[in-house]
Structure 1
Amino acid sequence: MSSVSVSRVLLVLITVSVFWVLVKLGFWQLARAEYKHQWQATLAERQQQAPLDYQQLLTLIKPNKPADITPETALLTGYRLSVKATPLQQPLLLLDNQVYQGQVGYLAYQIFEVTAENPWILVELGFIPAGNDRQELPALAAISAGQYELTGRVYQKLANPLSDELHPEIHADKPIRFQNINIPALALLLKHDIATAVLQPDNVPQHSLPQPWVPIPLSAQKHQGYALQWFTMAAVFLGLMGWIAYKQYRNDTRR
C-alpha cells in the first residue's frame, strides 16, 4: 500500500473515530437532560405529598445500604418530613467550602433526637458566611434545649467518588468542621446511629439563616446546552477534516 493510501486511510479512521465520540457525548448530554426533567418532576410530586412521620422515613431508608452510594432515583431528596425532636448536647457541625450568592462559608447542622430508641437526625440550620481568618469559626448559637415540631424537606447526597471522607476537625468547645456529608462516618464519630437523611426545616427555631436548596446541581437546560456544544464541535470537526481531505485530493491529482 502506498504512502498516499495509508494517509487517506488514517485520515478516514481519525475522522470517523473523533466524530463518533463527539456525537456520542452530545447524545449522552441529551439523555442526562431528559433524566433531569424526570427527576425534577419527581421532586415536584414529592413536595405535594403529605409529610412523612419519622418511622415512615426510617422505613424508606434501605437497611445496610448507605444512602450516599445509591443512585439518584433511590434518594429520599424532596420528601417532606414532620417530627417532634429535641436538640442534643452535641457540637454544632459546619460543612466546609459552601458557596451561597457569591459568599464562601458553611452549612450549619445540629443533631436532634426524635426518640431514645431511634437514630438521631441531622437538622440543617442554614448557611453562615466564613470570616477572613480560617482559624476562626463563625459564632453560632445552638438551638436551646426543648422539644420542637420540625417540618420541612429532607435530602440525601450522592457520594463524591473523588472525595467522600468526613475529615472532621475537632476542637474543644467549638463546632466540628467537616468536608463531606458522610453520615455513616459521622455516626461512628459520635458513637450513635444517625438517619442517613438530612432535614431542612421550613422554619428553624431561633435562627433565620438562608437555606440553599439545590437538589439538582446541573439543570436539564445546562445539559442541553452542553449537547449543542458537542454537536457543534462534531460538525466543525467534520467540516475541517472534509476540507483537509479535499486539499489532499487536489494535491494528489496535480502530481
Structure 2
Amino acid sequence: MNIFYSLVTKRIVATVSALLVVVIGCAAGFWQLSRANEKIALAEHLAARQQMTILNANTQDWGLEEANQRRMIARGIYLPQASVWLDNRPRPLPAGGVANAAQSGFLLMMPLKLEGVDRILWVNRGWAPRNNEDRETLPLVKTREGLVSIEGIVFAHPGKVYELGKKTGDAAIGAPRIEQNFELEREGQLHHWEQSPFILRENEVGVEDGLLREWAPLTTGVDRHYAYAFQWFALALSGFLFWLISGLIQQRKHGDQSE
C-alpha cells in the first residue's frame, strides 16, 4: 500500500495522465458495448413485430406508431416519374454475405398510388449501384406497369446520411431526382397529395428489375462494436500498466541510488 501511495504522490502528472487514459478508454469501451446491446435489442424487437399479423395498407389509414417495423402488404400503381433516388448509400450486406459493402449507390424511393383509396405510400424498392463515370446517370431499373402487389416492412424513414446544408425552395417534380435524404413531409408538400406517415421497405427478392433487396440485418456491426470495445479497454489497461511499471522501475532506480 505504501508503494502504491508513493507512486501516486511522487508522480502527480504521470498519475493524472494515466488516469485520463484509463477513464477515456473505459468510457469509450462501455459506450461501444452499449451500442452493440442497442442493436441486439432493436433486432429482437423487430423480429417480434414481424411475427404479428400482416397489415394491409389498402384497408386502413395506419399510423406510424401502430405500423412501425411490422409487415405490410399493399396494392396499387407505381408513379415512377415522381421517384427520388437517395445518393451515397452503401450496398446492403446480408448476414453471411461477402459482397463489397463499401460499394456506393442509390436507394430508389417510389410512390405507390394505393388502390381504392386516395393515398400515396412511399416504397423503398431497393438498392442499385451508381455509375462511377457519370454521377448524374441513374441506374436502369424495371418498373411493373398497372396494379402491383408488394410486401415489405414499415419504417419511419429509409435511413439518413450526413448532408451539408438544408434544401430550400421547390424541387422539380416532373421527373425522377437525386437527393441526399428523404423527407416524407416535404414530398407531400411538393406533390400536394395525402400520404401514409411511413415508408414501406420492399422485401421481394429474386426479381430481375435491377434492384438489390437483400437487406442487412439490424445486428450488422455488432462484432465491430465488440472489437472496438476490446481496443478501448486494452488502451485503458495499457495506460495503467505503463504508469505502474514505469513507476516501479523509477522507484527501484532511486532506491539503488540511495544505497
Residues 128 and 164 (structure 1), Cα distance of their counterparts in 2 relative to 1, 3 Å cut:
same
Match of 2:245 among 229, 236, 243: 243
Q: Secondary structure at the match of 1:138?
A: coil
Report the counterpart of residue 96 of structure 1 in structure 2: 87
Please say which of residues 135-144 and 106-115 is displaced more in the overlay: 135-144
**1:166 touches 1:186 (CA, 8 Å); kept in 2?**
no
Report the counterpart of residue 43 of structure 1 in structure 2: 46
**1:153 touches 1:202 (CA, 8 Å); kept in 2?**
yes
- Is 1:184 matched up with 2:175? no
Residues 219 and 134 (structure 1), Cα distance of their counterparts in 2 relative to 1, 3 Å cut:
closer
Q: How many residues align?
A: 239
Separation in 1, partners of 2:140, 2:217? 27
Report the counterpart of residue 4 of structure 2 in structure 1: none
How far 1:28 sits from its partner (Å)? 2.0
Q: Secondary structure at the match of 1:15?
A: helix
Report the counterpart of residue 219 of structure 1 in structure 2: 221
- Is 1:22 matched up with 2:25? yes
Report the counterpart of residue 147 of structure 2 in structure 1: 147
How far 1:142 sits from its partner (Å)? 4.3
Separation in 2, partners of 1:202, 1:176? 23
Residues 141 and 244 (structure 1), Cα distance of their counterparts in 2 relative to 1, 3 Å cut:
same
Separation in 2, partners of 1:107, 1:89? 14
**Residue type at the aligned position of 1:22:** G
Long gaps (5+) in structure 2? 1-6, 92-98
Report the counterpart of residue 136 of structure 2 in structure 1: 135
**Residue type at the aligned position of 2:244:** G
How far 1:116 sits from its partner (Å)? 7.6
RMSD across aligned positions (CA)? 3.6
Report the counterpart of residue 3 of structure 2 in structure 1: none
**Cα deviation digits, residues 153-203 of structure 1 (max 9, x gap):** 222348758438775996686421110122223323333343342212333
Separation in 2, partners of 1:151, 1:158? 16
**2:58 touches 2:115 (CA, 8 Å); kept in 1?**
no
How far 1:5 sits from its partner (Å)? 8.8
**1:109 touches 1:125 (CA, 8 Å); kept in 2?**
yes
How far 1:95 sits from its partner (Å)? 0.9
Residues 220 and 195 (structure 1), Cα distance of their counterparts in 2 relative to 1, 3 Å cut:
same
Q: Secondary structure at the match of 1:49?
A: coil
Residues 81 and 172 (structure 1), Cα distance of their counterparts in 2 relative to 1, 3 Å cut:
closer
**1:95 touches 1:181 (CA, 8 Å); kept in 2?**
yes
Identical counterparts, % of pairs: 22
1:56-205 correspondence to structure 2 within 5 Å: 59-62=62-65, 76-77=68-69, 79-88=70-79, 90-100=81-91, 101-102=99-100, 103-114=103-114, 119-131=119-131, 132-144=133-145, 146-157=146-157, 160=160, 162-163=162-163, 167=167, 174-203=175-204
Q: Secondary structure at the match of 2:55?
A: coil
Q: Secondary structure at the match of 1:34?
A: helix
Residues 172 and 111 (structure 1), Cα distance of their counterparts in 2 relative to 1, 3 Å cut:
closer
- What TM-score, normalized by structure 1, do the two folds share? 0.75
